[in-house]
A and B are shown apart, each in its own frame.
Chain A
Amino acid sequence: MPKALVIDPAVTRQRDSLAVPPIPVHAYDVPFADALTLHGAETLRDALRHMVLIREFESMLASFKATGAYRGVDYAYRGPAHLSIGQEGAAVGAALALAPEDYTFGSHRSHGEFLAKGLGAIARLPEAELDGIMARQDGGRLREAAETAVAGEGRALAETFLMLGFLAEIFMRATGFNGGMGGSMHAFFPPLGCYPNNAIVGASAGIATGAALRRRLAGEAGICVAHAGDGATGCGPVWEAMNFAAMGQLSTLWEAPFDGGLPVLFFFTNNFYAMGGQTSGETMGWDRLSRIGAGVAPNALHAETVDGTDVLAVADAVARKRALLVDRQGPALLDVECYRISGHSTTDANAYRSRDELKLWEAHDPIARLATSLIDAGALAEDGLAALEEEAGRRIEAVTRAAVDEALSPSVDIVAHPVLIGDLMFSGGETPVPDAPSTLTAPREASAALRKLARKSRAGRDADGAPLSPMRAITLRDGLTEAILDRMERDPRLAAWGEELREWGGAFGVTRGLSDVLPYHRLFNAPISEAAIVATAIGHAMAGGRSMVELMYADFIGRAGDEIFNQLAKWQAMSAGQLKLPVVLRASVGSKYGAQHSQDWSALIAHIPGLKVIYPATPYDAKGLMASALASDDPVVVFESQRLYDRVEQFRHAVPAESYTLPLGVPEVKREGRDVTVLTIGPSLYPALDAARDLAALGVAAEVIDARSLVPFDYAPVLASVARTGHLLVVSEASERGSMAQTLAATVTRHGFASLKAAPIVLGAPNWIVPGAEMETTYFPQAHDIVDAVTAEFYPDRKPNRRGVRDWDGLSLARRGL
């Protein structure tokens, strides 16, 4: 909605027809002699050698899976083996045109992608730099193992190091590149530009796009390559990522030097099949994969179909796309056709394709093709290929022996360190607001919305103690705004995006006014692409940025399910702590709009290991906890209740104007009492306080504790309270079944059993849909429900008459799935 871009009916209503730019298909037509001159014989022999190494490496995995042995080494490899035998030309061709500083993000079929990029970088980086990279990895341990495995130095040693670090990772060894926490489909090694491979089809598209955004903002030179298969063109998040990288504002609204489409190449290794489903002709609507570029942007993403069995055609195309990306004309798309001779995985019975088809493609082997061309041109001896294969066999055997050797490549010892994986879930690191000059493009006073904020009373009550209106006093929304602005002002690494975040200020006004003082590249309106919003936040953080993104309603979490549950939550641990993900994901919890706009999903997120979760309920807590979330080097999901945005402060005298942080994970007593502990999550704090007043009239003194955070959570204040009161009631707006409220109650029962006079009660939302505004009070726990629970269960002598509707039998509901 930027007013700068006027939608003029005189223009939009003109008669016209759309033309799509031509999409070249197999247009590469350079004589081999010319390609030889361009690249040099040594580089092309090296490309051949890389393909041979990759094939031998994967044949070794295939052999272990099929027979449990390889060249005399017996080993039971239990993990996956998605092999790319037949596809090596695509990966090595791309690597031939990429610079060491370019980043690749792999697919699930990524052994070739990883090794090709790594070997390509090793061929180009200065030896001194390679030495430094090897010395820094795991204190030099892997380099030592590589030297022991195969005598050598310089580039040869670096190659052994690469293959050993990778294979040790595939075998889940402690010396693997990712400490044995990644494995076959997830391995990566950033120093050589190999960023995470991904077992989720298409997931690298959004992450690579986010990394490309960071590279643009940081002024870095390299591009990002998002590897995916043809099957990934059926994945919504891939389309979302392509659009995000191409969105119009990058050219129309962003200022130099940050402007222009993002430098990301969507590289589809098109082997014509997903697992057994055939893409063109069966599961997809396109005939040629490259056609989809035309559906994304007027330049059709510079899409082309190229021959993936020809290293030179691929290198040529990638070099041309790379130049476009460097020239800020990204993103680009390549449809790289090739054929997977191996099965999808080792359980593939080839039921979906004929022997004849396999035979047809055996004639298009990328290795034989390049070898023949080199031999014909006199650039390779007649027995040159056989010699390379023989050498590859020897080297891979040596690497394999080292990778299964407990002394050189020790297994991860969980028995000796039972919490080893747990210790990798969070770094616990914090980066305070940098002591840097303001990055605002205008003083705060230039913004009417920020002037309005500055005029408000810091206290929530007037001199007589009466609560002030949210127009006059700092609200929970304002606390969030201030914490965000404080960090945005001083930390140029932080960028924020989400739907309608700029002029609108986010659907609920939390970022209102910020667009007056922040440029587009720091704060922008994202497309309605929840998956891409989260995936790009992850990539942006992985590549050195800090991200704050918003999902308008927590109910939309489902649209970003994989990105939150599998990517954001897991990459820190899957990198054995090498990657940091400083991402704040804000999600508002709705109200009044019924089932699809009002669900409290805090329990769902808290269930996922690897995410910190906060749910502040007061302006003071919101400001301090948001500041901590933004300082955290771990991902933090912030739940914000729409019903609480207008709450003014009623517990502290005032909300400080200065920035401050509050520790994540510490619940706080909001009202003291000796008869029952009421532990609340999010907005339940307020009905609990109302109930505490009613209970006081009945002679029951309730202690109300606001959880404030769900993950982490310090039980000490709750256990201390229960030790005094002997009773616990946990109140939450999330559906009860499997909820965080149940976890809190169960854990207090386990550790505070001796103090309890009765079993704790959990009062959550029932296990059915959130009704509309008219019925909401029958769904979310109200003050009278709390009074009912306390009096009926803990103090039956005080007031037997129930006022709420919750007089149901939980066990009979459970039998009906409720």
Chain B
Amino acid sequence: MAQSVTVLLVPQLGTEVTEAEITEWLMADGEPVEAGEPVVNISTTKMAMDLEAPASGRLKIVMEEGEIAKVGDTLAEIS
């Protein structure tokens, strides 16, 4: 049976924000995560926020700390 994969996306962060920086991964690549657990901190010039795992499973980091992501980009996959 194919494994189900959930993606963690950069959310819409207000009407004026188009991109955010991955400031810090709170979990390591390959680690198991629980749905609702904070896994990454992202920041814009105005604010910083933690994003939660959208599902439980194993974390696969797609974008590294320091990279700048656009709203809608995939930060990680959880399988």
Contact = CB atoms under 8 A, between A and B. Distances in A.
B19 A455 contact: no
Given A471-B19, A471-B21, A471-B68, A448 B41 contact: yes
B46 A508 contact: yes
A451 B45 contact: no
B29 interface: no
B26 to A, nearest CB: 9
Contacts of B41: 448
B48 A470 contact: no
A509 interface: yes
Contacts, number: 36
Nearest to B24: A448
Given A471-B68, A472-B68, A645 B45 contact: yes
Given A455-B66, A471-B68, A449 B44 contact: no
B2 interface: no
Interface string B22-47: 01100000000000000001011111
A143 B69 CA distance: 72
Contacts of B46: 508-509
A451 B21 CA distance: 12
Contacts of B43: 449, 452
A477 interface: yes
A469 interface: yes
Contact of A452 (B19, B23, B47): B23
B48 A512 contact: yes
A452 B45 contact: no
A449 B43 CA distance: 9
A709 interface: no
Nearest to A448: B24
A475 B48 contact: no
A808 B79 CA distance: 66
Contact of A477 (B19, B24, B45): B45
A572 B23 CA distance: 44
A646 interface: yes
Interface in A632-673: 645-646
Interface string A345-364: 00000000000000000000
B38 to A, nearest CB: 11
A509 B65 contact: no
Interface string A526-550: 0000000000000000000000000
Contacts of B23: 448-449, 451-452
B45 A471 contact: yes
B39 to A, nearest CB: 13
A475 B45 contact: yes
Interface in A449-485: 449, 451-452, 455, 469-472, 475, 477
Interface in B31-78: 41, 43-48, 65-66, 68
Contact of A449 (B20, B48, B66, B68): B48
Nearest to B66: A455
A448 B38 CA distance: 15
A646 B17 CA distance: 13
B79 to A, nearest CB: 26
Contacts of A512: 48
Contacts of A452: 21, 23, 43, 66
Interface string A376-418: 0000000000000000000000000000000000000000000
Nearest to B25: A448
A195 to B, nearest CB: 41
A475 B44 CA distance: 12
Contacts of A470: 45
Contacts of B24: 448, 451
A472 B19 CA distance: 11
A347 B44 CA distance: 62
Contacts of A455: 66
7 contacts: A448-B24, A448-B65, A451-B24, A451-B66, A452-B21, A452-B66, A469-B19
8 closest A-B pairs by beta carbon, nearest first, are: A448-B24, A448-B23, A470-B45, A646-B45, A455-B66, A452-B23, A471-B68, A471-B21
Given A452-B43, A452-B66, A471-B20, 16 more contacts: A449-B43, A449-B48, A451-B23, A452-B23, A455-B66, A470-B45, A471-B21, A471-B44, A471-B68, A475-B45, A477-B45, A505-B48, A508-B46, A512-B48, A645-B45, A646-B45
Interface of B: 19-21, 23-24, 41, 43-48, 65-66, 68
